[in-house]
A and B are shown apart, each in its own frame.
Chain A
Amino acid sequence: MHPVEAFNVTDRGRPDGQVMVFAHGFGCDQNMWRHVAPQFEDRYRVVLFDFVGAGGARAPYDPDRYASLDGYADDVVRICRALGLRDVVFVGHSVSAMIGALAEVAAPDLFDALVMIGPSPRYLDDAGYHGGFEPADIDNLLDSLAGNYLGWSASMAPAIMGNPDRPELGEELRASFCTVDPAIAEGFARATFLADNRADLPAVSARCLVLQSREDIIASPEVGRYVADHLADASLVVLDATGHCPHLSAPGEVVDAMNDFLKVRA
């Protein structure tokens, strides 16, 4: 299967512009970027995709390949190579920030810069490192995923609660957004939350922008600082936004910070 079909690749914007690849995090799909990606289409060639199991991706799920983030990073490299992308600005949210870092280490020739939104190289606490979570918390998340598998199927049925007067997503998008095959979601959750990529950070050669919400329970400001400190070439911007998805809650702030970063040395 060609990567375009396998990973539901969207290819928009200015065909001769620099390439900007957006990668969604655990739990959702490329619709995550709908308030940010269009802001770059006038100047950049904008490429979006869904990871295996997410959104409209059709790639077959191989539990061994996707047992660690390397399988996901390899998919990023495959997509870039299949589309002949070079000089890429890779924008990764959450776990995809680390997936981007792994892809850059594996294929540094493809990347110009990495934009990491809410990155964390390790979610579990460790000696001298505060990731924010205990192993039991991850088990509890897996429980949540399983518990919501039935709940989600129910919520896809029409109008359960009142009449949503402002449904901003179409029915079709709502059905696919955040709905991942539970077996794949569990695999991705394990690969994400049990990963330890701290040692990979110094190996990243591309320039990096770390975008950190001032409050984020998944990737705390302390963790964002850790990431910026351990990358070879990184700027850290702490956003006024709160929560793990500033690109949804404060897209303007995210776009401004990216523009400022890319303007320098562009």
Chain B
Amino acid sequence: MKANATFLTWTGHESRDVVGQVRFIDLLAAGSKLFHETHFRPLLLLDGQVSEVALELLRHDGSRLPVLVNAVLDRAEDGAPGITRVAVFDATERRRYERELLAAKKRAEDAEKRMTLLARTLQETLMPPRNPWIDGLDIATAYRPAGTGDEIGGDFYDVFAVSASDWVVTIGDVAGKGVEAAAVATLVRHTIRALAISETSPATILSQLNQVVLDHPSERFCTAAVLRLRRIGDWWDVAMAAGGHPPAIVLDTDKVPRVVGEPGHLVGAFPSVAYEDIRFELRPGTTVLLYTDGVTDGRRGSELYGEERLMRLLHESVDTAEPLIGRVLDDVLAFQGQEPRDDIALVALQVPPLPD
């Protein structure tokens, strides 16, 4: 190789040791040699030129000099590779800056990983880790976060026993997203659990919950539906109250879905609101579907998924709880191109049909 005086000054090599004695690659640090042969030279041979490749030169004293290298390959008439003209730039400062950039990028990636883990862990507190087994009642649930699922939402549900034949099922949606919405959802879920020990009426539970959410320092409010199910022989007596929540859909043995209940007032928005219990019976073969507005507010362009579409889907359904939930979720996701704009929570309860 040939080199100018600046190159020799930078690297500390003597002209007589370099010029005509070694190749450019011989002056590179080992890792740069590998990089030269696996990246730099192939690109140079293929494209005739290379720009801004970061390499390290070995100085005479053994220290390393970070450089940026541009190169152009001369070719003979027959296309055979000739000499390579190489321009070397001292990149000491730039390399330091790049290292800081890389370190900052890595810190940002680590922080993002921790955030995702935190959100996922928090999300898991919004619902039971697995559904309980209930004698005489099949239960199926589904939860799907909005979008790509990176952000934690405020949907929650719960199923728990007050006694062996006395169960409470709740579902709800705290306004907004993020850690704060999830924290309020956890508060709501556990407040309902605590209230259900002494209160039998879902309406009373909701009005006490209303005060708890109002007293909470966050400005969040929520929707919630609370069902109390008592087993009486082969059927269940249900008391239900809703606070700003989509009414339940009941599928009787006639296979015609019907809406049961009124949405009621939002929870945690206004002081002293009253809620109403409605009662119905779940006979063998009957199913109740509870859902959050992520289902009906599913959007395709300007078109809403809507309650009617849900009713049509359920019409004539003979599914048991698990496939029913799966079918609803698949349909809502397909409607929105698999990227729901809001969280979706679904709970289905079915009294097993009597054997023929």
Contact = CB atoms under 8 A, between A and B. Distances in A.
Interface of A: 25-28, 31-32, 34, 94, 133-134, 136-152, 154-155, 160-161, 164, 166-169, 174, 177-178, 193, 216-218, 243-245, 248-249
Given A140-B30, A168-B48, A151 B38 contact: no
B42 A155 contact: no
Interface string B74-91: 000000010000010000
B42 A169 contact: no
Given A144-B31, A151-B68, A217 B46 contact: no
A27 B38 contact: yes
A169 B41 CA distance: 14
A95 to B, nearest CB: 9
B3 interface: no
A147 B49 contact: no
Contacts of A193: 34
Contacts of A244: 37-38, 41
10 closest Cβ contacts across the A-B interface?
A140-B31, A27-B38, A137-B30, A141-B31, A248-B45, A244-B37, A144-B35, A147-B54, A155-B52, A151-B54
B102 A141 contact: no
Contacts of A168: 46-48
Nearest to A216: B37
Nearest to A217: B33
Contacts, number: 129
Contacts of B101: 150
A162 B49 CA distance: 11
Given A151-B52, A161-B87, A245-B41, A141 B46 contact: no
B52 A154 contact: yes
Chain B at the A interface: SS class:
helix
B34 A218 contact: yes
A218 B39 CA distance: 12
B37 A217 contact: yes
Contacts of A217: 25, 33, 37
A249 B48 CA distance: 11
7 contacts: A28-B42, A32-B46, A140-B31, A144-B55, A161-B49, A169-B47, A174-B43
B39 A140 contact: no
Interface of B: 25, 29-35, 37-39, 41-43, 45-56, 66, 68, 70, 72, 81, 87, 95, 98-99, 101-102
Contacts of A141: 30-32, 34-35
Contacts of B51: 155, 160-161
B95 A147 contact: yes
B54 A166 contact: no
Contacts of A167: 47-49
A174 B39 CA distance: 12
A139 B35 CA distance: 12
Contacts of B56: 140, 144
Contacts of A27: 35, 38-39, 42
Contacts of A139: 31
A175 B82 CA distance: 25
Contact of B53 (A140, A142, A148): A148
Contacts of A150: 54, 98, 101-102
A245 B45 contact: yes
Given A31-B46, A150-B101, A248-B46, A25 B38 contact: yes
Nearest to B68: A151
B94 to A, nearest CB: 9
Nearest to A139: B31
A93 to B, nearest CB: 10
A167 B56 CA distance: 26
Most buried by B among A27, A28, A133: A27
A130 to B, nearest CB: 14
Nearest to B25: A217
Given A34-B46, A248-B42, A164 B72 contact: yes
A174 B49 CA distance: 11
B21 to A, nearest CB: 15
Contacts of A144: 31-32, 34-35, 54-56
Nearest to B101: A150
B70 to A, nearest CB: 4
A155 B43 CA distance: 12
A124 to B, nearest CB: 12
